[in-house]
Structure formats: structure tokens, C-alpha cells
Amino acid sequence: MKVGGISPFSQSNDVGATGEAAAKKGTVPFVGAKPLDYDVWVQGIRDGRSYVSDGSSHLFDLAVNGLGVGEPATAGGRPSVLAAKSGDKLTVKVRAAALLAEKPREEIRRIPLDQKPYWHTERARVGNSRQVPVELIVNGQPVERRLIDADGRIEDLTFDYTPKLSSWLAVRIFPAAHTNPVFVELDGQPIRASRKSAAWCLAAVDACWKSKSPQIRPPELEAAKAAYAKAREVYKARLAESADDE
């Protein structure tokens, strides 16, 4: 994904370029009312004040219980981390827009997802309509959706969700746009929502070691072994702590 494609819909001070660049795929960071410069742009990427898009679908101003993605709940706090209590209802708000031609483009939507163009709003079209689904994602799974007309208008959407455990929440138009997450910690507990994800990470460490270890210089091999052992230890602990996937 290119970094810096600008959303023509957002009223925030987006970082990127205007005109032709607006139609390109990219990551769109928000800088709010701050002056536009490179340092602020990098901070926006670092803090997660961004979303990825194919250029024809846009998701911006995501907020959970009023906390905007990439914003700290308190001064000096961690960006995108919301403290909540068990049983609290979360109100998720996002502004969404998409643009499709009135007639479907069969040459795009009929090809498999592993063929170019991988991300395209045409692939999200519902049947032969001019609508696309905006989905609330919790721990990687869609839990609710709203349909919007892909006519370029901005729509304000609201989702209500009550998590059972600490979770991350995001919004997507699949496969065309996806926000960064807001992390919700219930009763101060860390997010351990997916045993499958923890197992995947543990397996990835082993796969990486198998691929990389033959290329490590002998003087650095023992340090590398220790680093990988530490990674395995961490992910084994995460695996033991994680909840079963629903």
C-alpha cells in the first residue's frame, strides 16, 4: 500500500496529495488541526490515525465511545486504547463513503481475490445494486453491518456492541477499505481474544527461524537463538492466556 493517498471526502486535515493522487490506493493518516508537515504526518501513521483504502471507498473519523482512533484517552496515554468495564455498551461511530458506477464491472468482480486488482470497491458491490456493506469488526470477525449507497455521499454510521472480553474493534468495506483498530480493555485486562492468532504467531516464529537461521553469521548465531527463544516464550504465554475463538 502506498502511504499518503488523500481522501477527497474527509473534512480532517489529511496528509498526502490532492488531485490525481486522490484516486490512488493508499494509507490515509489524519493530523486534525495541526499544521501539515512531515513530523506530524509520521506521528499520525505511528499513532494509528489512518485507514487503508483502494481510493474509491473511505472510512474516517472512527470513534468508540467518543475516543477517536489514534487518539489517547488521557494526556500522555496510549493511542487508541479505551478503558471500559464489563457489561459496558460501546457506541462505534464512523463516517463512510464509496463510489461505484451504476452498472457492475464484471471483469473485476468475477475474478478471484488472489488476482489483481486485489482491493477494489467493485468487489464489495451487493449483487447488482449500487450498495456496499460497512462492517463492524471485533477481533477479526464481522459482527454487524450496514449498507450504504456507493454514490459518493458521506454517511454517518453508528454500531452498538457489548464485548464479553477485552477486544479490538475496527470497521471495513471488504475488500476495499479498513480502519486501524481501537483497543478496548475491560476491567484493565489485556486483549487475549484469539487462541488461533497466538498459535499462528508462535508457528510464524518457527517458520522465520527455519528460513533465516542458515543466513545468520556464526558470531551472531547465539544471540539470534536467544532472541527467537524469547519470542517463543512470549507467544507460548499468550497462547495459554488466550480465549478460544468463537
Task: Provide the Cα torsion 38, 39, 40, 41; round to 10°.
Answer: 50
Work out whether strand 182-186 and strand 81-84 pair parallel, antiparallel, or are unpaired. Answer: parallel
Q: For position 245, what pLDDT does the model report?
A: 86
Cβ–Cβ under 8 Å, residues 33 and 59: no
Q: For position 246, what pLDDT does the model report?
A: 73
Q: Which CATH superfamily is domain 19-186 in?
A: Immunoglobulins (2.60.40.10)
**β-bridge partners, 30:** 14
**β-bridge partners, 5:** 17
Domain ranges of the chain: 19-186, 195-241
| C-alpha triplet 32, 95, 30: angle, nearest 5° | 20
pLDDT tens per residue, range 100-159: 999 999 999 999 999 999 999 999 999 999 999 999 999 999 999 999 999 999 999 999
Q: Is 160 helix (H, G, I), strand (E, B) or coil?
A: strand
pTM of the model: 0.83
Cell numbers 475496527 label which residue?
170
Q: For position 28, what pLDDT does the model report?
A: 59
Q: For position 30, what pLDDT does the model report?
A: 63
Task: Provide the Cα torsion 100, 101, 102, 104; round to 10°.
Answer: -90
pLDDT tens per residue, range 25-35: 556 566 666 67
Q: For position 9, what pLDDT does the model report?
A: 42
User: With 0-12 CB in 10 A as exposed, 13-18 as middle and 19+ as buried, what is 55?
Assistant: buried
Q: Please give the full DSSP string across 99-150, using - where no structure is assigned.
A: B--SS--HHHHTS-TTSSSSS-GGGG--TTSSEEEEEEEETTEEEEEEEEE-
Mean pLDDT by 10 residues, the chain (246 residues): 40 34 51 75 90 95 96 91 97 98 95 95 97 97 97 98 97 97 97 94 97 97 98 97 88
